[in-house]
């Protein structure tokens, strides 16, 4: 007769932290995302909660899977999608989801345009997301009470049922502006009762946006000269006060336009160029922006898409 292995009596949480891969995920979060200190702290706290929960289950102290559905609130371009992806990896390493993939959707992916269209669309998305994380950006657009012919409520009812019945196989993260998410939860209390973790994403500071710009340029093999750096700092200061500012996304758009101007400047000048010239963004590539003339930049109409 084979003896049944005894359950462990003690667990080394430090060893679990390293062996589970949680430490690696948190290090990646620190290295890849500038700023967001309160967000990173909440992710660490959530990781600690899940490590302790896993230890409790191993010692026979807990049986029920904790509620892991989340709400990410903040302005566009603050890293919500990136953090959701890291959260999916964290949950996978700790054994709370089977696959660890992220499925990112908006209202259009869930809601149909005619009777009988919404349920299969929503169920197909949920099928793809099972075993991982479903990220719903601008989730409040699912609810349109003023439109009697809108089918968003059908998608909401399906989501609520799956969030409750399949919470051991799917984590849902809903994201959007804080005030709109509050109104959405007030109108749909079933979501609020199923979401345990609410994380607020702050806007980036001017200094953080400057560092983000430097990282973005460096990743593409570019750099700012002294004049370009000063012009970009002034650009950020002005752009942050304008409507439709989308944090890191607006900075990425501005740098894309600066690279376009740099390429046109070099092409029109003609002649021989070296690697330094091809890699340098100067003041002349940034100053033509309408922001310096009191106008809005070209990303003013950009949708609130995932970061």
Domain for residue 2, yes or no?
A: no
Residues 226 and 190 in one domain: no
pLDDT confidence bin for 159, thresholds 50/70/90: very high
Residues 108 and 177 in one domain: yes
Query: Which of 201, 226, 260 is the last residue in one of the domains?
Result: 201
Domain for residue 307, yes or no?
A: no
| Total number of domains constituting the chain | 2
Tell me what pLDDT residue 142 has: 92
> In terms of pTM, does the model score above 0.75?
yes
Query: Which of 201, 231, 253 is the last residue in one of the domains?
Result: 201
Q: Give the chain as a 3 state SS string.
A: CCCCCCCCCCCCHHHHHHHCCHHHHHHHHHHHCCCCHHHHHHHHHHHHHHHHHHHHHHCCCCCCCCCCCEEEEECCCCCHHHHHHHHHHHHHHCCCCCCCCEEEECHHHHCCCCCCCHHHHHHHHHHHHCCCEEEEECHHHHCCCCCCCCCHHHHHHHHHHHHHHCCCCCEEEEEECHHHHHHHHHHCHHHHHHCCEEEEECCCCHHHHHHHHHHHHHHCCCEECHHHHHHHHHHHHHHCCCCCCCCHHHHHHHHHHHHHHHHHHHHHHCCCCCHHHHHEECHHHCCCCHHHHCCCCHHHHCCCCCC
- For 107-151, the pLDDT digits (tens) are 999 998 888 889 999 999 999 999 999 999 999 999 887 776 778
CATH code: domain of residue 251: 1.10.8.60
Residues 139 and 255 in one domain: no
> Containing domain of residue 66, as a range?
13-201
Domain for residue 1, yes or no?
A: no
CATH code: domain of residue 28: 3.40.50.300
Residues 235 and 269 in one domain: yes
- For 16-39, the pLDDT digits (tens) are 888 888 888 899 999 989 999 999
Residues 79 and 64 in one domain: yes
Query: Which of 179, 201, 223 is the last residue in one of the domains?
Result: 201
């Amino acid at each position: 007769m084979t003896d049944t292995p005894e359950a462990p009596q003690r667990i080394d949480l430090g060893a679990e932290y390293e062996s589970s891969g949680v430490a690696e995920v948190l290090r990646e979060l620190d290295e890849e995302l500038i700023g967001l200190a309160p967000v990173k702290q909440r992710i660490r706290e959530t990781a600690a909660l899940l490590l302790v929960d896993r230890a409790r289950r191993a010692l026979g102290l807990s049986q029920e899977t904790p509620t892991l559905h989340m709400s990410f609130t903040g302005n566009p371009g603050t890293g919500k999608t990136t953090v959701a992806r890291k959260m999916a990896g964290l949950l996978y390493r700790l054994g709370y989801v089977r696959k660890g993939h992220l499925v990112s959707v908006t209202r259009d992916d869930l809601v149909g345009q005619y009777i009988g269209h919404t349920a299969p669309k929503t169920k197909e998305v949920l099928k793809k997301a099972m075993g991982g994380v479903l990220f719903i950006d601008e989730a409040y657009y699912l609810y349109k009470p003023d439109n009697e012919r809108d089918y968003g409520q059908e998608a909401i009812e399906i989501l609520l049922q799956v969030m409750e019945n399949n919470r051991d196989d799917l984590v849902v993260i809903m994201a959007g502006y804080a005030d709109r998410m509050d109104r959405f939860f007030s109108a749909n209390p079933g979501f609020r009762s199923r979401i345990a973790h609410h994380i607020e994403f702050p806007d980036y500071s001017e200094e953080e946006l400057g560092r983000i710009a430097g990282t973005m340029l460096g990743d593409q093999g570019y750099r700012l000269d002294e004049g370009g750096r000063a012009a970009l700092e002034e650009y950020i200061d002005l752009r942050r006060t304008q409507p439709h500012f989308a944090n890191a996304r607006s900075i990425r758009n501005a740098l894309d336009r600066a690279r376009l101007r740099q390429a046109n400047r070099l092409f029109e000048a003609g002649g021989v160029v070296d690697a330094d010239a091809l890699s340098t963004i100067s003041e002349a590539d940034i100053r033509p922006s309408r922001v310096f003339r009191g106008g809005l930049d070209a990303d003013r109409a950009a949708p609130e898409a995932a970061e």
